[in-house]
Each structure stands twice: as C-alpha cells, then as structure tokens.
Structure 1
Amino acid sequence: MTDAPLRAELLLDREVPDDLRRELVAAFDGLGAPPVRVRRTVDHRGAADIPWIVLASLPLQAFLSGLGAEAVKDAYDTFKGVVRRTARPASPAPGALDDAVRAARPIVLQDAATGLDVVLEPDLPAEAYALLAALDLTGFTKGPLHYDRARGRWRSVLDEAAG
C-alpha cells in the first residue's frame, strides 16, 4: 500500500472573491505548501455554522516550519497580507452576514493529519506570526489554537481545561 501524496485544501466561504482565491493559492504555493485544491461552501449555510471565512487543511507542522525559514520571508509577508484581506472582503455578497460578524471571521489552518485547528484573526501582531512559525504542534491535543495577546503566546483553552 502506498501513501497518498500530500495535498492542501482550501474551503472558501462564498464571500471570498476570485482575486483573493488566486492570491491565497499563490501565497500557500509561495510558502511551499503541497498542491492546493480549492472548494467553496454551499450557499444555504446558516448563521449558526462555523464562523470562519477560509479553512485551509494541510500538513500543518511542515508548513509552519517553512514559515520560519528566512528564504521565504517575502512569501511569509504576502501570506500575512492575504490573511488580512481575505478575512475582511471589500464588498459583501447579497445576503451576507452583517459587518460586525464578518469583521471577526478568521482564516483557520487545519492540520490534515490530526485535525488540530489554528485560528488566524486578521489583526494578529507580527509576534504572533513569529511564534506560530516556531510553534511545536505536538504540545497540543485539542484545538482550536488562538493567539492570546495578553499572555503573548498561542494556546488551546480546551487543552488547558483538560489539564
């Protein structure tokens, strides 16, 4: 039996315009992610569904390790910019969620192997990305991981609650 080739998947909310879809694919490609497959959510989602705008499923630890390499600094800066622009689309689609809800909708990176989620809010400080690039995901068992600005670290509230 052979292992399936590594691949990354992007699941985009219907509000993400095509130009941002292309930028996202280029940003992940520039950072060395495996080939990206893009899908869109269905139009009949309800407001109670998951509040992300993009869900990227990929071999996350390898991707994060690549973020720390100096050789990908420009691609890394591009990725941060795409995260900010994608999480706040310029014009809402008809029937879209109100601006207050849309402004808070992050990009979620999901580890394809473990299902662990890392939530990237659009206004993360530079140190959050720097810590993320060096983050060892094996220290977490449950997600999602969020950046705690007050403590200056990535954390899983569910892991902490479980002890």
Structure 2
Amino acid sequence: MTEAPLRAELLLTHDVSAELERELTAGFGELGAPAVRVRRTLDHRGPADLQWLVLVSLPLQAFLSGLGGEAVKDGYRALRDLVARLVRRGATAPAAAPRPLVLQDERTGLRIVLEADLPQRAYEELTALDLSGFGVGPLHYDLARGRWRSELDEAAG
C-alpha cells in the first residue's frame, strides 16, 4: 500500500502578490507538497489583525521528515530561502512588524512560525523535530536557547 502524496493548502493575505503566489506554489511543489488549493484572506481586518503573511496547512510531520530525507536534497535550505524571499518581498511598509510564514498541521492544528531571520540550524533541527511532544503551540525557534519551543506548552506543564 502506498502513502498518499503530501498536499498543501495555502492561505495568503492580500499583501502577497500574484508573482509571489506563483513562487510559493512552485516552491512547495519542489519541496514535495504541491498546493491543491490557494485561497486569500478577506480584505477587511478586525481588531486582531493577521500576524502572518502566509499560512500553509499540510500533514506537518510527514512534510518536515521529508525535508530531512534524501528525496528532497537540502530541503531545509530550500524552505529557508523560500521564507526569506516571502518576507523580503511581502514587506509592504518598512516600519511594519515582520509577518512570517506559518506551517499548520492539517489534523492537529499545531502551528510552526518561520521567521525570516532563522539560522540554518533552526531549519536543520526542524526536519528532525518530533511534533508529538507539543500540544498547544505555536512553536517558535528560541535563538537564545537554540531550540524549538512552545511557551504555551511549557506554561501548561
């Protein structure tokens, strides 16, 4: 029995250009998770404005494991470069707070926040990360501690 291929669903803010949308779609296809659906958020925003630029929903553990595998040579570097291009091109105002790419597990809802300034080591560790040890999320890379963590999980004990 063969495994179902990975599929990604992309939710983009209106700040993402059509050109960047094509790059993202192609980039996730090259990473082994082609986009089956690309949607845009609503134009109007409420008091809790979106803090991310792109939300990608997919089978997260399988995707991350695949990035570290031989099938996607240097997949973590490709993901890092994709995130850097996204944040660099998606910035609409220089004074605006950075808005990251967020990966979300389609089954559990667990989220991983990928910011533009993450070191290569963060991506390397991400490909080997066991997500079953996290319950709430979101996961952020703690530069000072040099590891992925969920502050909400830690607070819950």
Q: Give the TM-score, by structure 2 length.
A: 0.88
Task: Provide the aligned length of Structure 1 versus Structure 2.
Answer: 154
2:96 is matched with 101
How far is the alpha carbon of 1:49 from its aligned partner?
1.8
Q: Determine the structure 2 residue equivalent to 1:149.
A: 143
Deviation by residue 1:2-56 (Cα, 9 ceiling, x = unmatched): xx98632100111111121111111111111154311111111246322100000
In structure 2, the partner of 1:7 is 7
Change in Cα spacing, 1:47 to 1:83, as seen in structure 2 (3 Å) is farther
| Superposed counterparts of 1:18-97, under 5 Å | 18-46=18-46, 48-89=48-89, 92=92
Q: Which moved more, 1:51-60 or 1:36-45?
A: 36-45
Matched residues in 2 for 1:60 and 1:153: separation?
Answer: 18
Q: Deviations over 1:54-75 (max 9, x none)?
A: 0000000000000101331255
Instruction: Classify 1:91/1:117 alpha carbon distance in 2 versus 1 (closer, same or farther; 3 Å).
Output: closer
Q: Deviations over 1:134-160 (max 9, x none)?
A: 000000001100000011100000000
Counterpart Cα distance in 2 of 1:156 and 1:83: 20
Q: Name structure 1 gaps, 5 residues minimum.
A: 93-97
Question: What is the CA deviation profile of residues 77-96 of structure 1, one whole-angstrom value per residue up to 9, with x for unaligned ones?
Answer: 3322121111232663xxxx
Partner of 2:126: 132
Q: Secondary structure at the match of 1:128?
A: helix
1:127 to partner: Cα distance: 0.2
Compared with structure 1, are the counterparts of its residues 100 and 46 closer, same or farther at alpha carbon in structure 2 (3 Å cutoff)?
Answer: farther
Q: Which residue of 2 aligns with 1:158?
A: 152
Letter in 2 for 1:138: S
Runs of 4+ deviating beyond 3 Å: 4-7
Question: Are the equivalent residues in 1 in contact too, given 2:64–2:127 (CA < 8 A)?
Answer: yes
1:111 aligns with 2:105: yes
Preserved contact between residue 24 and residue 79 of structure 1 (Cα < 8 Å) = no
